[in-house]
């Protein structure tokens, strides 16, 4: 066991032994006695036991049986457009509570499930997300409040998730029987521990339609078998948004592993823009409770912000692209959806538009960048610069590179190569560019480069950069590969060459297509 794993183990043990909230402490010995029992059975839900797949000295050091149903008190609170503000309490064992409700089986059914130390009252994000859905269309929104079972110690809350998952599965089966809904049309959105709750529900139902995991909890779940955590087999389609995938040793709460059919990693799934300032600003803008939440777990919370802002905000589409890693994405190497569009998808509510991901054993990691403020989405462009290799004598150069995009609506100057780099004539260089501006249709491009040469001879000879053409690819849309490059190629005068600190213009010309 290396030092990092030893440290992780010790931290988990400390968190599990005493979790102090508002001055209260729950000792380890209070639950160890419960662990001596082999099984606990509950009417309608069946039995729960601690099988070998739940045991791991390093990743799940303390396992206990879940609390009883009464203690956990999972409540299903229905909202529709007819009762958008006042919840209707659905009870699986109370037939009248189902039949007398406004639930319409013709409309989608969405369950919203919170995580550790959260509740319908304490977590305003659930109400906000519910409101966004009801503004968007006719939905049956069911907020699942299991705040009776999500308190410290953390290991006990993880055990209780199994019961909550079973309660949701029972509710869906009851709604099938009494209201005629189809489990294939049900969608569970879970945050943190709620993501794994959704997984347990899906395991029981076998044919659940969709699960969206918003930053699934890492402690006690990462590196564990699929039977213990959320995984692609839990629903027909499982999409995941990672926003706090830093190792728990560095105060990250979310998983870094792929656990869905498609896993989005905005900003590499960690260190979300705006979180450093939000930690303090949110106390003023959002009150004490929400301020405390964001101060402690802004990155973890950001996955919910992302999900919510995909429901009604339509101006910019947050497309994620499959890539080997974050660095390659930032280097502009991953801007193709592929001939079957399997290499990209829209993060958030529209993720399931791409049916080819369903029932696919291959898991996909998709990347995109965001800003640090709502609505968070950025316009993405891939800029490729093809250098020309003259037949006459020439010299490769070293320097920095600025590109300006001139759009129909706005312009944007970008330092695509802010640190000095070698430019070899005949080579092709590509970059990722993001902006909050709506540039509109790109009409032209300009390039300026600054030499970083320290050779005094270059002061006399004045090296030139020969650019053959520039391509600008908008990335906020799903397009099959190869793309139609019409109106996306910009020609220059490669024979002439660009002196340093000189701005050279490149105009849109379809004649350049022959060079591609």
Rounded to whole angstroms, what are the CA distances from 332 to 60, 317, 368, 506?
39, 18, 11, 20
Peptide bond into 482 cis (omega under 30): yes
What tokens does 125 get? 């994000």
The secondary element (H helix, E strand) that includes residue 490 is strand 489-491
What tokens does 295 get? 């101060």
Residue 173 in contact with residue 202, Cβ under 8 Å? no
Residue 277: CB partners within 8 Å, gap ≥ 6? Answer: 372
Query: What gap in Å lies between CA 289 and CA 292, rounded to an integer?
Result: 5
Rounded to whole angstroms, what are the CA distances from 217 to 220, 222, 225, 227, 265?
8, 8, 14, 15, 15
Catalytic residue IDs: 192, 215, 300
Peptide bond into 424 cis (omega under 30): no
Residue 359: CB partners within 8 Å, gap ≥ 6? Answer: 236
Residue 220: CB partners within 8 Å, gap ≥ 6? Answer: 12, 59, 60, 154, 155, 158
478 by Cβ neighbours in 10 Å (0-12 / 13-18 / 19+) ranks as middle
Q: Report DSSP letters for 399-454, one per residue.
A: EEEEEEEEESS-EEEEEEEEEEEEE-TT-EEEEEEEESS---SEEEEEEEEEE---
Longest dimension (CA), the chain: 90
């Amino acid at each position: 066991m290396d030092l990092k794993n030893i440290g992780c183990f010790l931290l988990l043990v400390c968190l599990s032994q005493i979790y102090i909230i508002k001055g209260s402490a729950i000792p380890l010995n209070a639950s160890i006695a419960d662990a001596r029992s082999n099984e606990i059975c509950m009417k309608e839900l069946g039995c729960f036991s601690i099988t070998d797949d739940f045991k791991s000295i390093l990743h799940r050091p303390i396992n206990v049986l879940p609390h009883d149903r009464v203690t956990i008190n999972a409540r299903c609170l229905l909202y529709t457009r007819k009762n958008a503000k006042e919840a209707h309490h659905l009870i699986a064992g109370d037939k009248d509570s189902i039949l007398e409700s406004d639930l319409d089986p013709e409309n989608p059914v969405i369950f919203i499930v919170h995580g550790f130390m959260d509740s319908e009252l304490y977590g305003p994000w659930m109400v906000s997300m519910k409101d966004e859905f009801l503004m968007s269309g006719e939905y049956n929104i069911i907020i699942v409040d299991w705040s009776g079972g999500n308190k410290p110690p953390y290991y006990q809350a993880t055990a209780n998730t199994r019961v909550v998952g079973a309660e949701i599965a029972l509710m869906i089966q009851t709604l099938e029987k009494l209201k005629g809904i189809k489990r294939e049309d049900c969608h569970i959105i879970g945050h943190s521990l709620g993501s794994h709750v959704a997984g347990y529900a899906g395991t029981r139902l076998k044919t659940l339609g969709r699960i969206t995991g918003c930053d699934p909890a890492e402690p006690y779940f990462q590196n564990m078998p699929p039977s213990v955590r959320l995984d692609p087999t839990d629903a027909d389609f499982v999409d995941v948004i990672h926003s706090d995938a830093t190792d728990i040793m560095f105060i990250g709460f979310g998983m870094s592993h792929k656990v869905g059919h498609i896993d989005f990693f905005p900003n590499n799934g960690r260190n979300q823009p705006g979180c450093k300032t939000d930690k303090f600003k949110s106390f003023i803008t959002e009150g004490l409770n929400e301020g405390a939440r964001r101060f402690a777990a802004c990155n973890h919370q950001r996955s919910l912000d992302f999900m919510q802002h995909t429901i009604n905000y339509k101006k910019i589409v947050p497309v994620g692209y499959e890539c080997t890693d974050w660095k390659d994405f930032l280097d502009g190497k991953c801007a193709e959806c592929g001939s079957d569009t399997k290499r990209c998808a829209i993060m958030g509510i529209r993720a399931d538009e791409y049916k080819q991901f369903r029932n696919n054993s291959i898991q996909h990691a998709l990347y995109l960048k965001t800003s640090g403020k709502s609505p968070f989405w950025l316009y993405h462009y891939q800029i490729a610069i093809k250098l020309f290799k003259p037949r006459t004598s020439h010299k490769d150069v070293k320097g920095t590179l600025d590109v300006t995009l001139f759009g129909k609506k706005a312009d944007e100057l970008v330092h695509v190569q802010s640190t000095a780099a070698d430019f070899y004539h005949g080579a092709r260089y590509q970059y990722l560019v993001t902006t909050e501006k709506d540039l509109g249709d790109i009409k032209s491009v300009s390039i300026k480069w600054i030499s970083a040469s320290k050779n005094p001879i270059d002061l006399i000879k004045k090296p030139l950069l020969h650019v053959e053409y520039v391509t600008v690819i908008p990335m906020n849309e799903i397009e099959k590969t190869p793309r139609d490059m019409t109106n996306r190629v910009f020609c220059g005068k490669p024979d002439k060459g660009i002196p340093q600190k000189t701005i050279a213009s490149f105009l849109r010309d379809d004649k350049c297509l022959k060079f591609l």
